[in-house]
Structure 1
Amino acid sequence: MLDRRRMLQAVATGAGAALGFPFSADRLLAASAQNSTPKRVIFFLQNQGFDPATCVPKGMKHSGSLAGVKLPEPISPLEPYKERLHIINGLHGKHTSPSHSAFFGALGGYRGGDGVPPSAATIDYELSNVLPQTLLPHLCIGMDSMENMTAKPTLATLSASGAGQPIFMHSNPNLLYQMLYGGISTGDIRRQHEARSSAFDQIKKLAAAKGASLPAADQLRYRQYVNGFKEINGLRERLDTVSDHLRQFAPKVDERYAQPEFETDWHDALLELGISALASGITNTLTIGSGRGEIFGAWKGLGIDQQGHNLGHMSQPDNPIWTKIRQYNSRMLEKIIDSLESIPEGSGTMMDHTLIVYTSNNADSQHTSGANWPVMLLGNFDGAFKTGRFTQLDGKRPINALYTSILNAAGVNCDRYNMSEKLAQKFDAGNGALSEVLA
């Protein structure tokens, strides 16, 4: 068991001078002295939709306690965690045009679509700016078929830092491990890390020099590339300052990395890297995209031969294929909970101050209108959310209202998230946070 206070002190002391934003041991320790603790949020989005019949307990048509009911088979691994669970049915996302996927709109609460750039920052990025700053404020990981993860190890479809500013998710655990822990590794991993770092330095310099002679429109694009490489290099330097601390959390590199038998080997490795980033204090906001926000995805390691778009045309309730996928996700959620529960923080554990948001970037199904967008919450975010509950809403509040609720719980005073008054008149029957979910 690790002492969370000493862990934060180690990170802050080593990293404070290297960061471009306020982050210091004094700040974190002052918060600890005031009996406040860092908070973190995890978003887990499964593609192809989240049918309510796979999460709403049989026979429950009205809001109530989960204590005396049995969870549906697809989420049965969460049965021991019912007191931490809140199932919400009846939110909507009709304004996001989800269909095959709402893409950036799923976490942005605005109109999305294939190839449509984000029109504003997404909720995960907004929270990463509100929660106590970390070395890497926001980490995105994406799970897909081996072919897709290998051909496109980074992809941006779900998260954004602003209008036209997508955030890339990492899908190759080898590359992500190098980014997070290459500086404390040995052998081939260390050599590859140093080679990539040197290449990034050179590319940044070349891009900066070449960009100056380009037309104004192209200069903007070049500056985005330069800033991207600058951020990668800056992260590498910041991580190097806390190398001794990170050694406690770096996952063991095994055959799953270089010689995966199935794509689920990489899925599992990516999840472990995401958990380690949370546990070590590298990040406090993690976004997981199973299917990476698109219509693809594969789970051959679960004995499922079907993949991609075909899965979206299958009914999910009582479907053994979807039961396997949803149970696999539930076991991932279980692993996150158990890992964070094992680390003391404040007067409790890291999990006591964490919120996990599980849903789909497709609302309830493929080719959906978004009229129903089921969501599961796990954890109470330091007592901010009700747990052990099922809440049935009337379909008149949008997913934006849930995001507003999370922002309120994180200390942001706002009545709406990414929704103008004009849009709200058509798509939101209320205002402010969801009283049904906040404690």
Structure 2
Amino acid sequence: MLSRRRMLQGIATSTSVALGSSLAPERLLASPATNTTPKRIVFFMQNQGFDPKTCIPDGMTNSGSLAKAKLPEPISALEPYKERLHIINGLHGIHTSPTHSAFFGALGGYRGSDGVPPSASTIDYELSKALPQTLLPHLCIGMDSIENMKTKPTIATLSASGAGSPIFMHSNPNHLYQMLFGGISSGNIRLQHEARSSVFDQVEMLAAAKGRSLPASGQRRYDQYVQGFKDVNGLRTRLDTVADHLRKFAPIVDERYTAPEFETDWHDCLLDLGISALTSGITNTLTIGSGRGEIFGAWKGLGIDQQGHSLGHMDQPDNPIWIKIRQYNSRMLVRIMEKLESVPEGSGTMMDNTLIVYTSNNADKQHTSGANWPVMLLGNLDGAFKSGCFTQLDGKRPINALYTSLLRAAGQNVDRFNMDDKMAKKFDNSTGPLKEVLA
């Protein structure tokens, strides 16, 4: 059972590491005067593995165009968007020791394990710093069974701002709505937002006062929580100052929020909130954890009775259960693209300046060595990435090389990500970004 204390700590800590330095309201979106194109990246991490046979068209064994290929049934929803799709096979993550999940290592490119804190920052956090800054540079949302999302509304398993500094993901759409759009709401949502805000204000004051009596070591840890509540309260204030702007993007609250029939109702609400955060300019980096980086997860709303660990022991190719899950994922990806495509930006749309990275926190399957880590890219981030193609690699470059490519596209002149020379000699046969994916 999640205690109130643990929940408050999770909220405070997650907001603190996500916000970083304070930002003025006028920097909600990148300033046009900087001539910097607003860019954004979405990570969609599905648990239990991503079998390459569920995404590579039949007969494609070598790199080539997807123009005349027919996408496999699990990702058939992406067929109309093949020109924006890049399927990559042959990266590896052996050094992450994924087993049931690589946890923080999936986005960090280092060894991860259940209950083990992150050893460094993850790629999504680093990109949130490199991209034009917004009010909430990094937002993480997690989808799971309805029971898990209710009892553990925040959890940290995938993203981190540094060694020992996890970033919590939000799994209760009611809490997340209040955080993002509570200031522009009315009725019960407004009352709950004000009551929650009042509690956070009081906790900040009490925490600051009580922390002074602690020993130095405890005081430093306590100060992190105090700063977390300061950032929560500061974010609320800054969002209130751009209320008129946010009203155009806030999703409609319906019975799916308050009386979900299935967990997929909350999944859909969380996705709506994530999309709204992107289109409104609140954030430039969104991480979605379907299964929340662990071995759980449920999709009863798709007519699937099995859930959790047992799903990972099923072969994914031609499996009607996994076809349903992957098709559901694909429809979510389409919803993101269509919504971003509907918002003008520069000489095109928001989707023109966006990249979606879809993969698993567990390489190709559960109980894997990580020797093959399939990835799908959607979009090209303002022309930085190739699209409309399939790339087959030789298995000698790690997922870190892809993350290096993402950082290069974001303007960071780096040759490696979270891999020193000693590690690179063992797990990477080259250096720098993947020339096969950059345009």
TM interval, shorter chain, is over 0.9
Aligned 8 A contact 1:37 1:345 in 2? no
Q: Percent identity?
A: 78
In the alignment, does 2:36 pair up with 1:20?
Answer: no
Query: CA 1:165 to 1:318, structure 2 compared with 1: closer, same or farther past 3 Å?
Result: same
Aligned 8 A contact 1:299 1:307 in 2? yes
In the alignment, does 2:355 pair up with 1:355?
Answer: yes
Which SS does the other structure have where 1:115 is aligned? coil
Query: Which residue does 1:95 correspond to in 2?
Result: 95
Query: CA 1:27 to 1:102, structure 2 compared with 1: closer, same or farther past 3 Å?
Result: closer
- Report 1:123-134 matches (<5 A): 123-134=123-134
Cα deviation, residue 228, structure 1 = 1.4
Aligned 8 A contact 2:24 2:238 in 1? no
Q: CA RMSD in A?
A: 1.2
- Report 1:82-231 matches (<5 A): 82-231=82-231
Cα deviation, residue 20, structure 1 = 2.2
Which SS does the other structure have where 2:113 is aligned? coil
Which SS does the other structure have where 2:90 is aligned? strand
Which SS does the other structure have where 2:118 is aligned? coil
Show CA shifts across 1:97-119 (max 9, x none). Answer: 11100000000011100001011
Cα deviation, residue 212, structure 1 = 1.6
Q: Amino acid of the residue matched to residue 32 of structure 2?
A: L
Cα deviation, residue 21, structure 1 = 4.1
Query: Which residue does 1:8 correspond to in 2?
Result: none
- Report 1:25-424 matches (<5 A): 28-31=31-34, 34=35, 36-424=36-424
CA distance, structure 2, for counterparts of residue 156 and residue 122 of structure 1: 12
Aligned 8 A contact 2:100 2:294 in 1? yes
Which is worse superposed, 209-218 or 256-265? 209-218
Show CA shifts across 1:288-343 (max 9, x none). Answer: 00000000000000000000000000000000000000000000000000000000
Instruction: List structure 1 segments (4+ residues) > 3 angstroms apart after TM superposition.
Output: 21-27
Which is worse superposed, 288-297 or 202-211? 202-211
Cα deviation, residue 143, structure 1 = 0.2
CA distance, structure 2, for counterparts of residue 394 and residue 308 of structure 1: 32
Which SS does the other structure have where 1:91 is aligned? coil
Q: Amino acid of the residue matched to residue 238 of structure 1?
A: R
Give TM-score, length-normalised by structure 2: 0.94
Which is worse superposed, 75-84 or 197-206? 197-206
Give TM-score, length-normalised by structure 1: 0.94
Aligned 8 A contact 1:84 1:387 in 2? yes
CA distance, structure 1, for counterparts of residue 360 and residue 211 of structure 2: 39
Cα deviation, residue 27, structure 1 = 6.2
Stretches of structure 2 that go unaligned for 5 or more consecutive residues are: 1-20
Aligned 8 A contact 1:23 1:133 in 2? no
CA distance, structure 2, for counterparts of residue 268 and residue 24 of structure 1: 30
Cα deviation, residue 217, structure 1 = 2.3
CA distance, structure 1, for counterparts of residue 138 and residue 22 of structure 2: 15
Q: Amino acid of the residue matched to residue 194 of structure 2?
A: E
Q: Amino acid of the residue matched to residue 41 of structure 1?
A: I
Q: How many residues in Structure 1 have an aligned counterpart in Structure 2? A: 418
